[in-house]
Amino acid sequence: MRLIDSLATTPAMAEVFSDTSLLRAMLDFEAALARAEARTGVISHAAAEAIDRAASAELFDVGKLAKDSLRAGTLAIPLVKALTERVRAVDQEGARFVHWGATSQDVADTAIVLLLRRASMVLAADHARLHVALRRLSEEHSNTVMLGRTLLQPAPPVTFGLKAAGWFGALRRGWARLEAAFEDAMILEFGGASGTLAALGERGVAVGAALAEELKLRNPEAPWHAHRDRLAAVISGCGIYTGSLGKMARDIALLMQGEVGEAAEAGSEGRGGSSTMPHKRNPTGCSLALAAASRVPGLVAGYLAGMAQEHERGAGGWQAEWTTVARVMEDTALALASMAEVAEGLRVDAPRMRANIDRTRGVIFAERAMILLGAELGRDAAHQLLEQATERTIESGRRLKDVIADLPEASRVLSKAQIDNLESPEAYLGSAEVFRQQLLAP
């Protein structure tokens, strides 16, 4: 992993999109193509075996391939040339059939699909971690009351269990969409020059079916060189999923603010510290996830902008995709792994949550008082009365329930028990627990 990428990917996803991994995916295509053509009688088994043996990524000069691909406009051309030379060194006849009937984009697109299959497994493992951790947090804190916050201001209470279930629900929905998009994208690209496999005559369809089987990919109805919708769905799905990770990260980072102090990432060696302030515990995991979530939307937009490709095969559109796909996968992996670690170690300060409710001196229960009074006084009159009571509470430093108790209009409507219980957060949670359970339901 390069230093410049150290805050933009994970080791596992960096390996998926490493030089060796990419070369292996492309060479896997070439070797599988040779085997498929031998199975269908297009080339000899001896030629296929020679191509298969030569298609080892470790045998190729990455630096030279990179330099030559810039001249060729695609990595496939110098790679096929280098593979042909390696085959020729051991089998002159077999060298004639390297890349037989295929085109550069067949190799490039199928390689990306093969890399996406590996990428989906990396993401799935971390999603499973996050899924378990969020469910546990929600269950453990089903009764932990905390301030609701709307427009960043104190609002009637919620539970931390409901907040965690909200993250859980959004990420579960996002993963279901992304998983379906990955599955739909696990499809072979094999069309030859113009997407007709004309070079293979009547055997084109049979070779395609055998090739898909060799690579364990689905065989499409037809080649899809200029139709990028399946890959676009994966990229868009990552954008939505990473956005939900970013929302979770934003919430937790705000809860970690010193003035709030309701949650904290787990501290560990080299994690969350400051280069100058020894007292700090920074939201490191959240910051990494937020950085990724800020980058992905632009990458998604860039991918979608490249979908309008010309005729049977476009110029520039598919060539632009490799770096975009890699960046989106790496950013998604970074955000996901970061938030899985955060969720697994998150420290929730329930006493501080209740203390922050108490610090409002009851003004967050003005809505509750208005509803109780509104049944008798009417909503408008009750709303006006509570505005005045709230202002007096703020100005005097008293509690809202004590101010209300002094108001004749209120005390003749509300009983002493109602006023005494007015500021109990547990008594004003509405359907929070129902919603929490519904979000976690299988």
Question: Active-site positions?
Answer: 274, 313
- Between CA 317 and CA 305 the distance in angstroms is 9
Helices (H) and strands (E) in the chain, counts: 19, 4
- Between CA 359 and CA 362 the distance in angstroms is 8
E strands, 271-390, in order: 347-348
Fill in the DSSP letter of residue 219.
P
Closest CA to 216 of 114, 101, 329, 109: 114
- Between CA 399 and CA 379 the distance in angstroms is 22
Contact at 8 Å (CB) between 205 and 323? Answer: no
3-class secondary-structure state, position 313: coil
Phi, psi of 156 (to 5 degrees): -50, 155
Residue pointed to by tokens 């004590």: 402
Question: Exposure of 303 by Cβ count < 10 A (0-12 exposed, 13-18 middle, 19+ buried)?
Answer: buried
Closest CA to 198 of 303, 103, 69, 338: 103
3-class secondary-structure state, position 98: coil
* Angle, CA of 80, 84 and 86, to the nearest 5°: 120
- Between CA 314 and CA 252 the distance in angstroms is 44
